[in-house]
Amino acid sequence: MAKEKRVLLKDVADSVGVSTTLVSIVLNGKAKQYRIADEMVEKVVKAAMEMNYSPNLIARNLRGGKTQLIGLIVTDISNPFYSAIARIVENRANELGYTVVFSSSDEDKDNTKRLIDVLLNKGVDGLIVVPCDGSEDLIKSIHDNNTPLVLIDRNFPETDISFSCLNNYRATELTTRHLIEQGYENIALVGYKTGMNHILDRIRGYEETMQAAGLGKYIQVKKVNLLNTKVEMSNVLDTLVNKKKVEAVIFLTNMLAVTGLYCLKDMQVRIPDDIAMVGFNRNDVFNLYPSTITHIRQPLELIATQAVNILVDKINHSELEIKSMSFSEPQLVVGTSTPKKKEI
């Protein structure tokens, strides 16, 4: 029941009869560099193994300024999209010898600031952040302060902050083109109010593809608020379906797509009989809904792994100030929610 006393460097040193410095040198693999005798190296390593020594990271960190801790700030860890990312970040970080600390910003920039402060204070070696609206200056100041930092899922193109995200323009270009090829013309888009680049890129992808296909007159971008989404979504969909006689809707995020499904179910609008739709990111609902939902698949594995790779690289070469940009390509998963439109 009593707390086992931890084995210290000193304990190992005493057991071999040498200084703690020597043990530290040997266990850090610098024996050659400090020309420690081979037999001595062997003795020390053996003793350390037998005594089951493991260094106190806090002490090591205080001395060296490194914690092998990575901070991950997402908007909401309970959002399956971000928890999926978290899992991959965790795996990759572990492989590289890091442990992950996470926090949720709730899309709020003051929260983000608070969380970053806390994490830096805990001594994290670097940060992976899903930035939220209005956080650009804040994030820039962290980056300017030479804290290793990588944005994920979203980015600030005007800055020299590294990021790993989806090629968002391509995502909606793909979906829009698919819908056009299926014969739809009156195609609307539902996004949300934000100045964040990932959403703006998705909107551009839709608009430019529509324009290029000569469907400019049908371009309709509806934006709902992130709070009170359900009510706003109902109104938006009511307008699109009943007033605008829209043939297909593209939802810009998973959450919007699922909320959209709830509303359409309430309105007793059938998919795809009454309207075609495209979602974003995988969701069991998309497969189990009466019709399977066509959606964009993000290569999460790649996006998250790249973010960690870039970050760890920055941590290890903090003297270099390189902007790494990783755009991953989206895939279109075609379901039965976007069938070929029957000609009149």
Return the residue of 43, 45, 51, 123 that touches its own copies, per CB under 8 A.
123
Task: Give yes or no for residue 19 binding DNA (CB under 7 A).
Answer: yes
Which of 201, 226, 257, 281 has its CA nearest to residue 107?
A: 226
Q: How far is the CB of 334 from its own copies (least distance, A)?
A: 18
Task: Give yes or no for residue 62 binding DNA (CB under 7 A).
Answer: yes
The tokens 């020597």 sit on which residue?
22
Cβ proximity of 111 and 105 under 8 Å: yes
The amino acid sitting at 29 is G
Task: Give yes or no for residue 54 binding its own copies (CB under 8 A).
Answer: yes
Sketch the per residue contact string, 27 through 46, with DNA: x for CB under 7 A, - otherwise.
xx-x---xxxx--x------
Query: β-strands 294-297, 331-333: how paired?
Result: antiparallel
Distance CA 222, CA 297 (A): 22
186 binds, options its own copies, DNA, none, Cβ within 5 to 8 A by partner type: none
C-beta neighbour count of 110 within 10 angstroms? 12
Sketch the per residue contact string, 136 through 175, with its own copies: x for CB under 8 A, - otherwise.
--------xxx-----------------------------
Sketch the per residue contact string, 76 through 115, with its own copies: x for CB under 8 A, - otherwise.
xxxxx-xxx-xxx-xx--x----xxxxxx-----------
Distance CA 101, CA 72 (A): 6
Task: Give yes or no for residue 261 binding its own copies (CB under 8 A).
Answer: yes
From 16-24, 101-109, 143-151, 197-205, give the range in contact with DNA by CB under 7 A.
16-24
Size of the site for DNA (CB under 7 A): 28
Is the CB of 24 or the CB of 239 nearer to DNA? 24
Is the CB of 41 or the CB of 285 nearer to its own copies? 285
What secondary structure does DSSP assign to 54-91, as a single string?
---HHHHHHHHS---EEEEEES-TTSHHHHHHHHHHHH
Rounded to 10°, the helix 38-50/20-27 angle is 90
Q: Where are the alpha helices (DSSP H) in the chain?
A: 9-16, 20-27, 38-50, 57-64, 80-95, 109-121, 136-144, 168-181, 197-212, 229-238, 254-266, 284-288, 300-316
From 17-25, 110-118, 217-225, 266-274, give the range in contact with DNA by CB under 7 A.
17-25
- Under the rule (CB under 8 A), what is the footprint of its own copies? 1-4, 54, 56-59, 61-62, 67-69, 76-80, 82-84, 86-88, 90-91, 94, 99-104, 117-119, 121-123, 144-146, 258, 261-262, 265, 283-285, 287-290, 321
